[in-house]
Amino acid sequence: MNKTDWNALSDAEFQAIAREFFETRCPARLKHLPRRPRWTDVKEWYTNMSEAGWLTPTWPVVYGGMGLDASKYIIYVEEMEREGCPRVMDQGIMNLGPVLIAKGTEEQRQHYLPKIHSAEHLWCQGYSEPNAGSDLASLRTEARLEGDEFVVNGQKIWTSAAYDANHIFALVRTDKTVKKQAGISFLLLDMNQPGIVVKPFKNMGGVDEQCSVFFDNARTPATNLVGKLNDGWNVAKALLGFERVWSGSPRQSLMFLYRLQQMAKLTGKLDDPVFVDRLTQVTFDVLDINAVYQRLVGVMKTGGTIGLESSMLKIWATETCQRVGELTMEAAEECGGLMGSIPFGDKEFDLLYPFLDARAWTIYGGSNQVQRNILAKGVLNLPS
């Protein structure tokens, strides 16, 4: 257990420690990668963070986390992004862990949370289906209770990094006789069993990142039900709240902004006052997202509930990130449309893949169109 009281430090003190940690502990070969790496690539970095107690910054200390308050967590994210540290297998860290802490039993927390820290369990998320994406409540993957086990049949899609996961948390239909939101349960499944097949497919950047996951009489103990039977929609809303807040994290925008600033310097765009004006505008947008994100993380840290603010932040952050990427492509001029690493001065950048990958971020966690509908009804009281 990490016994350091990080929140007792000043922000400046913690920033210096975080900067030193990310500079020295993250392998240089993994910094500023243009795309999501595979588990074999980031295992060393995951293990480094876990052994140092830096893997789960927002989890309570009692569950092995750093217990960072909002301001310290923002510093953590900023320093990680400044150093270009890669994304690891983080569905267990960012989504499942907080859900188990909030909604799981103590037995589930004691069993699963340490295995996330040790990387014994690598998790993926089984939510979307071929006909249940933004309308997630229309999902058809079903589970029936047989004795002390659930038997699961169906298909999930857009399951990021499922090819490297060995566990999946999934929404399944357990009652077809009630309205669609009421008959859903939240289950945890071991993927290393007969009846679960993972099939990766390429995104428009030509990279395998998402997968289809097929369940054919897959089984999981009834004790792997999180929350109550048929109450999975409420568990899912809690997780989607976390996911939308994470989707609204300044992390990606800060990474894109760092790349844009480097590109502008290397291409001489900082001598163009029109470009500098646009760069200043997107910089302020990223700083604004940072401020709102800090406030929402503060609400979560004190046990508060995130409501419609998460939809607003998710829209704002993902669309801002795309604008930063677009301006970066403009700064690269004719090289902006080339795939792969392109030399600029003494540096190399892969610009096209991150630009293409960012198109999907407005869909993850519930599309931005759906989020606007939520805000229209929930804030403006407009009719459906």
Give me the CATH number covering residue 294.
Answer: 1.20.140.10
Could you tell me which of 86, 94, 92 has the C-alpha nearest to residue 40? 86
Q: Given 71, 88, 105, which residue is the final one in a domain?
A: 88
Q: Please tell me whether residues 225 and 151 are part of one structural domain.
A: yes
| Residue-number span of the structural domain to which 309 is assigned | 248-378
Question: Among 198, 230, 262, where does a domain finish?
Answer: 230
- Domain assignment present for residue 362? The answer is yes
187/228 Cα distance (integer angstroms): 10
Distances (CA, A) of 93 to 4, 88, 100, 242: 20, 9, 11, 11
Task: Write down the pLDDT at residue 20.
Answer: 97
Spatial neighbors of 154 by CB under 8 A, at least 6 apart, are 129, 139, 140, 141, 142, 172, 214, 215
> Does residue 48 form part of some domain?
yes
Q: Are residues 39 and 139 in the same domain?
A: no
Give the pLDDT confidence score for residue 242 in this predicted structure: 56
In the chain, which residue ranges form alpha helices assigned H by DSSP?
A: 11-25, 39-52, 70-83, 91, 97-103, 106-118, 232-247, 250-266, 273-301, 309-332, 352-357, 368-378
**What pLDDT score does 305 carry?**
67
Residue 36 and residue 84 in one domain: yes
Residue 155 covered by a domain: yes
Strand pairing report for 167-173 and 123-126: parallel
Residues 335 and 219 in one domain: no
Same-domain check for residues 257 and 372? yes
- pTM over cut 0.85: no
Looking at the fold, whether 147 and 203 belong to one and the same domain comes out as: yes
Where is the domain boundary, 32, 61, 88?
88
> Which among 79, 129, 142, 243 is annotated as catalytic?
243
Quick one: which H or E segment has residue 142? strand 142-146
List the CATH number of the domain containing 31: 1.10.540.10
- Which position has the token pair 């409540």? 137
Tally of domains in the chain: 3
- On whether residue 238 sits in a domain, the answer given is no
The answer to whether position 366 is within a domain reads yes
Determine whether 243 is an active site residue.
yes
Residue 107 lies in a domain: no
Please tell me what DSSP assigns to residue 58.
T
- The parts of the chain modelled with pLDDT lower than 50 are none
Considering the domain architecture, whether residues 144 and 34 belong to the same structural domain is answered as: no
Predicted local confidence at residue 300, as pLDDT: 63
Distances (CA, A) of 241 to 70, 233, 308: 17, 12, 9
Same domain? For 258 and 216 the reply is no
